[in-house]
Amino acid sequence: MAVGLLLDLEHQQGKPVPTLSMRKQPSFSYPDTSTSLEARVAYFSMEIAIEPEMNTYSGGLGVLAGDTLRAAADLGVPLVAVTLAHRRGYFRQLLSPDGVQTEVEQPWQVDAFTTPEAPLVWVEIEGRQVAVRALRHDIRGVTGHVVPVFLLDTDVPENAAADRTLTDRLYGGDTDYRLRQEIVLGIGGARLLLALGLEPEVFHMNEGHAALLTVALVGRTLAGRTFALAGPDDFARVREQCVFTTHTPVPAGHDRFSMEQARRILGADTTDMLERAGGAHEGMLNMTYVALRFSRFVNGVAMQHGIVSQAMFPGYQIDAITNGVHAGTWASKPFLELFDKHLPRWRRDNVTLRYAIDIPEVEIVKAHREAKQLLVDAVMDRTGETLKTDVFTIGFARRAATYKRMDLLFTDAERLVAIAKKFGGLQVLYAGKAHPADEPGKSKIHRVIELAHELSGGLLKILYIENYEWKLGGLLTSGVDLWLNTPKRPYEASGTSGMKAALNGVPSLSILDGWWIEGWIEGVTGWAIADLEEEAHEAESLYTQLDEVILPLYQDDKEQWQRVMRSSIALNGSFFNTQRMVEQYALNAYFPQELATEDLETLASASH
Ligand SMILES: *Cc1c(COP(=O)(O)O)cnc(C)c1O
C-alpha cells in the first residue's frame, strides 16, 4: 500500500530504530536524543490520554488523541505530539448517595512518567515573558517506532507564581486562564519544537484549542518583520503547513474570546493580525475561524459531521475522516488473546480483524463471558454491588452533556420495569462526568441516580458508577451485552465508545448519529433508534427495539445473537480503528502531494 512508502520503514527492515528503540529502560531514564528524531508531522492537542496513570485528559477528545498517537507509533509515522502537562489533571468525580457530583483534584506523578527536555522558550502573555519547557513521554508502537509526546510545563523557577500554575488544570479556571493556556500550547509548543531542532512540515491542530500555533508560524515567516506587516502572502505560507480537525457541531465547543480579552492577553499586534487574517467572527476572536483560515485541509470526524460542519462553515472546504479507536488498547484481555490466536497479524494490520468472521462463535462467547466477569468483579470492588453474569446488561457511559440525553431510557419508567420483568431481569450500568461548571449536566446525573434508586429492585438493577475514566471505559465497553447511545441528532460528531464495544463483540443500540450512521447494519452490527421529532417517540422506538427485537433475540436465538457479536467485530472492529484513520490522515491530509507523485510513478511503471 502506498502509505507504507512514506512511513518510517527502518523497523520493518529488521533494523532497530537508531537510538530511540535501543532504550530498554522505562521512558523516564534515557539520554536526550531528540535531535535524532524525524518529525514530519506535529500533532497539537489540549488533551491526550497517554497512559491511564497520567491525568492529562478529560474524555473523548483526549482518548482519540492518544489512540491516534498509538496508531501512528504502530504504523511508523514520523510524528511528534504537543500538549500541556496538566499537573493537577482534570478532576476525579465523587458522587454522593443522592447523586450530587463533587470534584477532587487529581495530581499525577509527573516525574515518574516524563523526562524534562533542556530548552526553555518564552511566550508573551499580558505583556509578561513566560518561560515554557517540555516534559517528554514516549509512545512506542508494536514495531518499536516511537512517537514522543512533549507535555508543556510553565512550573519553572523563571516564572512568577501565577504563571507557574498555567499548565496545571485541564479545562479549569476562567476564559482568561484558557486563553493563556492556548498561548502556551500553540505558540509555546511551536517554538519548543524548533528549539528542539525539529522542523515539521505539517502542523495538525486537533480542535481549535491549538489554533495559536499559527501565530508562531506567521512569526517565523515574517523573519524579523513586525506583525503589523503580516499580509496575505505570509498567511498563505502558513496555510500550506496546517491541517485542522474540528470535533463538534455544538456551538459551546468552539472557543471564543472577546477582542478586549485578546488584546489584553495576546497583545494588540497579534490580535490585529489574526483579525486581518479572518480569525474574528461575530465580534469575537474565534479559534475555529483562526484554524479554518490557516489550514489547507480541514475535516470533521465522521461522514455526517463533515456535512454538518460544511454547512456551519460555508466558504471552507471541509472533508470527513471518521474517528476510530486503537484496537490494541481497547480490546479486552480475553479478546486480545482470542485475536492473537486466530489473527496473528492483527496488531500490525487491523484490517485483519475482518477475518474475525472465521472465528468460531463459541470462542467469541467465551471471551465475552470472561470480559463480563471482569466487569462484574470491578463493579463489586468499586461499589460493593453484586451483578449477575447471566442477566442481560446494558451500558451507557459518556460525558453528561445534555444533548447526550442520558435519561432517555427513563422516559417511560413503567415500560422499562415491565421489560425487565418480561425477560427475567435487566441490568443497566451508567457512568460519566459533567464538567464542574456544567450545571444542566450535573442535574442530569442527579436525575439518573434518583431514578436508579427508585426503579432498582426486583428484576431491574440500575447502577451509576463513579469516576468514568480509561480503565472503567474499557471494562464497560467490553463487559456489557449492549451499548446504548441516545444523542440528539446531529450533535454527536462521532462518538467512539460504541467502536470500543464493537471491537469486543458488543453490538450497539443507538440513534443514527455520528459514527453509527456508517457502522449500523440493522440486526447485523446492532440496531437503530428511530430519529424522530419528539423525544417521547424516540424513547418509544428504543423500548420497542429492546422489547420486540433485541431481548427476544438474546433469549431465544442464541446462534443469531452470536453472529451479531461476531459481525460487530468483523465489520466494525476492522474499520473503526485509528490505524485506518491515521492512514487516511496520511493519504489525504499530511502528504497528499507525495502520494499523488508516488501513485503516478507506480502507474507509469505498471503501464510499461
Ligand atoms: C471512549 C471514551 C470516551 C469517549 O466516548 P464517546 O462515545 O465519544 O462519548 C470518553 N471517556 C472515556 C473514559 C472513554 O474511554
CATH code assigned at 104:
3.40.50.2000
Q: Which residues pair with 431 in a beta bridge?
A: 397, 465
**Residue having the nearest C-alpha atom to atom 9 of ligand 1:** 398
Q: How far is the CA of 160 from the centre of ligand 1 (A)?
A: 36
| Whether the CB of 464 sits within 6 Å of ligand 1 | no
Whether residues 290 and 341 share a domain: the answer is no
In a domain, 8, yes or no: no
Whether residues 403 and 334 share a domain: the answer is yes
Q: How far is the CA of 63 from the centre of ligand 1 (A)?
A: 7
In a domain, 237, yes or no: yes
Q: Measuring CA to CA, which residue among 475, 478, 470, 497 is closest to residue 367?
A: 478
The full DSSP string for 557-604 is: -HHHHHHHHHHIIIIIITTSBHHHHHHHIIIIII-HHHHHHHHHHHHH
Strands 297-300, 242-245: pairing is: parallel
Whether residues 333 and 226 share a domain: the answer is no
pTM value is 0.93
Whether residues 467 and 541 share a domain: the answer is yes
Which phi and psi angles does 257 have, rounded to 5°?
Answer: -135, 145
In a domain, 591, yes or no: no
Edge-to-edge strand ranges of the sheet holding 280-281:
256-258, 284-286, 280-281
| Whether the CB of 496 sits within 6 Å of ligand 1 | yes
In a domain, 303, yes or no: no
| Whether the CB of 585 sits within 6 Å of ligand 1 | no
Q: Measuring CA to CA, which residue among 349, 312, 311, 304 is closest to residue 328?
A: 349
The atom number, within ligand 1, closest to the CA of 500 reads 1
Strands 202-206, 146-153: pairing is: unpaired
* Whole-angstrom distance, CA of residue 96 vs CA of residue 115: 38
* Whole-angstrom distance, CA of residue 362 vs CA of residue 368: 10
| Whether the CB of 66 sits within 6 Å of ligand 1 | no
Strands (E) across 10-60 are located at: 41-45
| Whether the CB of 404 sits within 6 Å of ligand 1 | no
Whether residues 413 and 561 share a domain: the answer is yes
In a domain, 598, yes or no: no
| pLDDT score of 594 | 76
Q: How far is the CA of 60 from the centre of ligand 1 (A)?
A: 4
| pLDDT score of 120 | 97
Whether residues 476 and 536 share a domain: the answer is yes
* Whole-angstrom distance, CA of residue 338 vs CA of residue 59: 28
* Whole-angstrom distance, CA of residue 138 vs CA of residue 134: 13
Whether residues 284 and 362 share a domain: the answer is no
| Whether the CB of 89 sits within 6 Å of ligand 1 | no
Q: Give me the number of domains the chain comprises.
A: 2
Whether residues 288 and 390 share a domain: the answer is no
**Residue having the nearest C-alpha atom to atom 13 of ligand 1:** 469
| pLDDT score of 10 | 34
Q: How far is the CA of 401 from the centre of ligand 1 (A)?
A: 12
Mean pLDDT, contiguous 10-residue spans, the chain (608 residues): 35 35 34 62 98 97 98 97 98 97 98 97 98 98 96 98 98 97 98 97 98 98 94 97 96 92 98 97 97 98 97 96 98 98 97 98 98 98 97 96 93 96 97 96 96 93 98 98 96 97 98 98 98 94 98 97 98 98 98 71 58
Give the DSSP letter of residue 46.
S
Tell me which residue range forms the domain holding 375: 327-577
In a domain, 305, yes or no: no
* Whole-angstrom distance, CA of residue 304 vs CA of residue 485: 17
Whether residues 472 and 356 share a domain: the answer is yes
In a domain, 513, yes or no: yes
Q: How far is the CA of 234 from the centre of ligand 1 (A)?
A: 39
To test the ligand 1 pocket, which listed residue (207, 475, 497) has its Cβ within 8 A of the most ligand atoms? 497
Which helix (H) or strand (E) element contains residue 477? helix 470-479
Strands 242-245, 202-206: pairing is: parallel
Which phi and psi angles does 517 have, rounded to 5°?
Answer: -60, -35
In a domain, 81, yes or no: yes
Whether residues 250 and 383 share a domain: the answer is no
Give the DSSP letter of residue 484.
E
For residue 84, CA distances in Å to 36, 54, 514 come to 23, 12, 28
- Look at the block and give the residue holding cell 467490553: 478
Whether residues 564 and 415 share a domain: the answer is yes
